[in-house]
Every structure is written in structure tokens, then in C-alpha cells.
Amino acid sequence: MRKPIIAGNWKMFKTIAESSATAAQLKPLVAHTNHCEIAVAPVFTSLRFVADRLEGSNIQVASQDIAAERGQGAYTGEVSGEMLRDAGCSLAIVGHSERRQYYGETDETVNRKARAALDAGLRPIICVGETLAERDSGREREVAKRQINAALAELTAVDLDRIIVAYEPVWAIGTGRTATPQQAQSMHAFLRSVIADTFGEAAAQDVRILYGGSVKPENIGELMREDDLDGALVGGASLDAASFARIVNYLG
Ligand code: PEP
């Protein structure tokens, strides 16, 4: 059984005071939730504050990015996995489409960042997904396969155990246009089969594959009914504690 994970990506929203307040509001709303793992990803400057607020709770802290380099060094503007651990993170989002689109992240950097996260003891949430043009030209599988194979290059089945994949079709992120449960299921099953080709069926069956793209309290239930959907990466609807809690508590 794969335990679902519901993670909120707060993107470049919220000051320290605001993210700390949202974390404090969220805590009691999900205190009795144990059907899924829960995580929030604030901006770097808020990480330590949010982690302190969530200390002892069932909500984990994720970073939205991570340096490809390890430890410390002359890499202006970068934050290493070790520093993210120090700031209270246990997870790191890697290869989000906004980073690929606006900051030139490539399949190769995504792989380096995923490996850096693992080396630092963080679990990477590796994002893959096609653009609208790629879907419209029928290339969604080809793109997702290339992205996942590149992201997982040089990793072992032991590493795979600590990896989370997020399928996030770019056309569904922040657009209000969600993939249908069938479209998502079809891509998730495909991604699992691609992972199985490299790592074997048993290892692939254990990997959590999250869906991301305009997930809301109103559509999480139908998405989670699909066999290969193991949770969600939520952007906009995670910014409000009550809305995110409704998504986390989709069961009841
Ligand atoms: C995301 O940022 O990963 C995301 C899926 O955003 P949204 O839920 O707003 O579409």
C-alpha cells in the first residue's frame, strides 16, 4: 500500500509572518489526519520559522528548490540540501515546471538536484509534465518519459524508495484547468511503467506519484479514486489553511 502524500507549494507567496500564521492555522485542522503524509513548501526565508511552528506536528516542511551542489561553497544565491535540512526540511521539490520554464532548469540539472537532495537526506519530489503544445501534438508520453528517465539517471532501487514523483501537466498549473481523472491516471500508470522498465515492477509499485495542476477541495476526491494517483502537489489552493485542510482531509 502506498500512503498518499499531499504537499502544498506556496511558491513566492507569504512573508515570514504570513507563512508562520498559515502553518499555525493548518496544524489543528489536520492534527487527526493519518491517511496521508502532509507537507508545505514555503519560500526559503520562511522555512525555519514554519518548521518551528510545525515542530512535533504531522506536517513536514519541503523546500521549493535545492542547489545541485553539496554542502557549502562559492555558489551565490544557492541553498544546499544540508542547509535545507538545517532549516527543518525533510523534502525538496525538484524540477518544478516554473523552474524549468523561467530559470532554465534542464533534465540534467533536475537529476543533479535530485541526487543532491538524496545525498543530504532529503526526499526529492521530482516534477515532470508536458506543456500544452506537447500534449496537443500527442507528445505527452514521450516528454514525460524523457523527463523521468533523465531525473532518475544513475539512481538505484534503494534511492527510488526515497523518491516521490509529481506528474504536473504544465497546462493545468495555475490555470484552473485540471486534467481529468482519466487523463491523470493514464499518465501516472505510464510513468510507473517507465520506472518499472529501469528499476523493476516491485520497486515501481512502491513509488508515490502525485498529481499537480489546479487541485482543489472540489476535485481531490475524484482524482484520488484513481489507482495510480498517490496524492497531490497543490499550488494556489494550498495558500489558505482551510482550503488546504479540506484537500488533505479529502476522505471525510
Ligand atoms: C504547483 O504549483 O505545483 C501547482 C500544481 O499549482 P496549482 O495547484 O495552482 O495549479
CB 57 within 8 A of CB 29: no
Q: Is 6 in the pocket of ligand 1 (CB under 6 A)?
A: no
Nearest atom, ligand 1, residue 215 CA: 8
Of 168, 209, 240, 246, the residue with max ligand 1 atoms within 8 A of its CB, to mutate for a pocket test, comes to 168
Q: Is 168 in the pocket of ligand 1 (CB under 6 A)?
A: yes
pLDDT confidence of residue 204 = 97
pLDDT confidence of residue 58 = 98
Q: Is 174 in the pocket of ligand 1 (CB under 6 A)?
A: yes
* 184 φ, ψ (degrees, to nearest 5): -65, -50
Distance 52 CA to ligand 1 centre (A): 25
Residues in the chain where the model's pLDDT stays below 50? none
How far apart, in whole angstroms, are the C-alpha atoms of residue 124 and residue 108? 15
Nearest atom, ligand 1, residue 234 CA: 8
For the question of residue 37 being annotated catalytic, the response is: no
Minimum CA distance residue for ligand 1 atom 4: 235
pLDDT confidence of residue 53 = 98
Domain boundaries, position 223: 5-248
Of 128, 214, 219, the residue with max ligand 1 atoms within 8 A of its CB, to mutate for a pocket test, comes to 214
Instruction: Tell me what percent of the chain is helix, strand and coil, each rounded to the nearest 5.
Output: 45, 15, 40
Nearest atom, ligand 1, residue 11 CA: 2
Domain count across the chain: 1
pLDDT confidence of residue 44 = 98
Closest CA to 51 of 84, 7, 95, 9: 84
Encode pLDDT of 126-135 as tens digits. Answer: 999 999 999 9
For the question of residue 168 being annotated catalytic, the response is: yes
* 8 φ, ψ (degrees, to nearest 5): -105, 125
pLDDT confidence of residue 252 = 61
Distance 73 CA to ligand 1 centre (A): 32
Minimum CA distance residue for ligand 1 atom 6: 235
pLDDT confidence of residue 40 = 99
CB 190 within 8 A of CB 226: no
In angstroms, what is the C-alpha Rg of the chain?
A: 17
pLDDT confidence of residue 251 = 86
CATH number for 66: 3.20.20.70
Global confidence as pTM:
0.97
